[in-house]
Copies of this chain bind each other. A is one copy, B any other.
Amino acid sequence: MRMTRQRRAILGVLRGTRSHPSADRVFAQVREQLPNVSLATVYRNLHQLAGAGVIQELSVGGGLSRFDADTSLHYHVRCIDCGRIDDLHLPSLDDLEEEARKLTDFQLLGHHVEFLGKCPRCSNHKGKAGKAGRYSQ
């Protein structure tokens, strides 16, 4: 893989944040260094890097894709109001995957877990109530 200025910058942005940015967030950041990058380039690189296992594309719920330079196995919490995503380093659920394997005829390759909730900021917006129920599946 050729290490172009653009690709280096994109990787740099991802490695310099813990915020699991979406493609257009990355784009905005990269633009500060390279004012001419195009959004298409950002998308192409994010996918290529993800395909190569250098970064991770988060299959989270709630709309747009998010990217993470931390490719170690860990889970996430997502704020249902503002979309903030934090890491959650829980022990891996290999036993659970083993359990699942008994119940399906799929060839299992992995799993992910996403916790839903409200981040500290959004918990305090007392007025806006927000739906109360649970968000499990």
A108 touches B104 (CB 8 A): no
Chain A interface: which size bin? 35 or more
Q: What's the Cα separation between A60 and B111 when bound, in Å? A: 11
What is the CB-to-nearest-CB distance from A107 to chain B, in angstroms, rounded to a whole number?
Answer: 5
Q: Mark A4-46, 1 if CB is under 8 A from B, else 0.
A: 0000000000000000000000000000000000000000000
Q: What's the Cα separation between A79 and B107 when bound, in Å? A: 9
Q: Is A49 an interface residue (CB 8 A)?
A: no
A112 touches B109 (CB 8 A): no
Q: Which B residue's beta carbon lies closest to that of A136?
A: B110
Q: What's the Cα separation between A88 and B101 when bound, in Å? A: 10
B112 touches A136 (CB 8 A): yes
Q: What's the Cα separation between A114 and B134 when bound, in Å? A: 17
Q: Which B residue's beta carbon lies closest to that of A115?
A: B111
56-84 of chain A: CB within 8 A of chain B: 56, 58-62, 73-77, 79-80
Contacts A88-B100, A103-B88, A113-B113 known; A108 to B77 CB distance under 8 Å?
Answer: yes
Q: Which of B51, B62, B104, B112 makes the CB contact (< 8 A) with A137?
A: B112
For the complex of A and B, list the 9 residue pairs with the smallest distance between their C-beta atoms, beginning with the closest: A59-B61, A110-B135, A112-B137, A110-B136, A106-B117, A108-B117, A110-B134, A111-B115, A107-B118
